[in-house]
Structure formats: structure tokens, C-alpha cells
Amino acid sequence: MQKSVQHIQIQRQKSTHFSSQEDVVAVEEPLEIQVQEFGAKGAQSISVTMRTPGNDEALALGFLFTEGLLNNYNQIKTVFPFGENKVVVQLQKGLTIELNKTERNFYTTSSCGICGKSSIEAIKTNSQFKISTPVKPSKELLFGLQETLSNQQSLFSLTGGIHAAALFDFSGKLLLIQEDVGRHNALDKLIGEALKNEKLPLTNTLLLLSGRASFELIQKAVMAGIGIIAAVGAPSSLAVELAKEHNQTLIGFLKKDGFNVYSGEIS
């Protein structure tokens, strides 16, 4: 079983003194996602992404879904790890994925989920869900989210180098949290878990991001039908445009006593 963190020896300077100490860093390793058609002897490589080991099957499912290559979990026969750094997704009989139609290059890094894709048009995947926001989030609800996330974000407290994506209901109850060295991977893990448990669309939920709100994260939220997104960091211009286009509520710079509203309304 692969570990999510690694213990290493470092030299730490404090004031005028050096000391040898043990530190904990987040593990970053490649994961190859492959798709195998029913009855086929081999599998097709779809993506290589840099990720933190753990919940790899959910990561593969979430990636394929948010990229528009899968529509629902009923299309999957099984998902299984192959070695330490590969996941194979087997399709049901009669299904196929035509990668050449997507016009994408699926080599991704932990810092960027859309690096290598050929054009803006190629990354605007169409969602099967229409965004609906049943309620306007209150400031009291939003103020309490970051503290709840901090209490649950175990890998970040150890390493300081892990991103989290967390799902809450409208009472502020934490429903699901996933962590990864890559922002987009953490969200794919969360959406993949929801896909597997047939919880999509995530209409009655609020998504909290531990870092900034970039375009690809808003795009993935659109694919999952999430209407309210709050981020601890800043959104990008394209993220704001996409949120407005899909009637999403987008909150940035969320703190315990303040935030910015970039799209939508609060109560």
C-alpha cells in the first residue's frame, strides 16, 4: 500500500542555528488512467496525472466524468488498480471512448489540470446537468466552513502542501472531503466518489476549495451540477466568467470574518 506522506531528514535554520530534523512532505507520484473496452485484451491509456496516492479509483472515475468521457456509473463494469501507479477502468459491453474526438492532451501536473489542452473550446466540456441553486448561502454558514475544513484536513496539517475539496450540505454539515497535492485531483476524487455512489448531480451541496478557484475547478463543479462554490483563495477571471455563465454562486477569499462574492448572491 502506497503512503500519502514521506518522512525525510532536513536541515532547519532557526535564528543563527542549524539543526538536523525530520520533516513530513506530501508524496507526489504519477498515476496512469487506462480504459479497457469489454472483451478487449489490452487497455487504452487516457491520462497520466501527478497525484498523491490514495483513492486512485475515485480519481480515475472523477477525471473521466468531469472530462465528459463518462456519463454515469452504469457505464462501468469494474475499476481496479494495476500495480502501484496505474488504474484500469473497464467499460460495460458495447461502450467505447473515442479519445481522438476530444482534441485534448491529457498529461497533467499537480499544479495545473488543463495544461496541454489545445484550445479554450476543447476544455469547455458540456454538462448533462443544469445548475440549480436551491438556496442562497448565509454569511453565518460561509464563516463556519473554513474551520470545519481545517479540523478535517489531516494531510495538510502534517505537510502544509496538500489541497482539499470538501462537500457540505446547506446546514454546514461536512459530507465528504478529499485531499491531494493537486487541486484538480482532490476535486476529481470527490466527484468520482459521488459518481460511484450515484449521488450526482450534487444540487443540494456547497463545494469548498482550500486554495484558489481556477477555471478547471469551476468546470468540474459544473459537470457535477454544483451551484455554490467557496474558495479560500482567489478566483481567476475565467473562473468568474464560467460561474456567471452557469448561474453558479462563487465566493472567494473566504475567511472566518469575510469573503468576496464574485457571482450569484448570498442571503
Alpha-carbon gap, residue 133 to 131, rounded angstroms: 7
Find the catalytic residue in 112, 174, 176, 234: 112
Q: Please answer whether residues 145 and 164 qualify as being in contact, where contact means their C-beta atoms are separated by less than 8 angstroms.
A: no
Q: Which of 115, 126, 156 is nearest to 222 (CA)?
A: 126
Tell which residue, 168, 178, 174, has the closest CA to residue 202.
168
Whether 112 is a known active-site residue: answer yes
What are the CA-CA distances from residue 206 to residues 61, 203, 228 (Å)? 21, 8, 5
**Beta bridge partners of residue 29, listed in sequence order:** 51
| Beta carbons of 165 and 210 less than 8 angstroms apart | yes
194 sits in which H/E element: helix 183-196
**Count of beta carbons in the 10 Å neighbourhood of residue 238:** 15
Catalytic residue numbers? Answer: 112
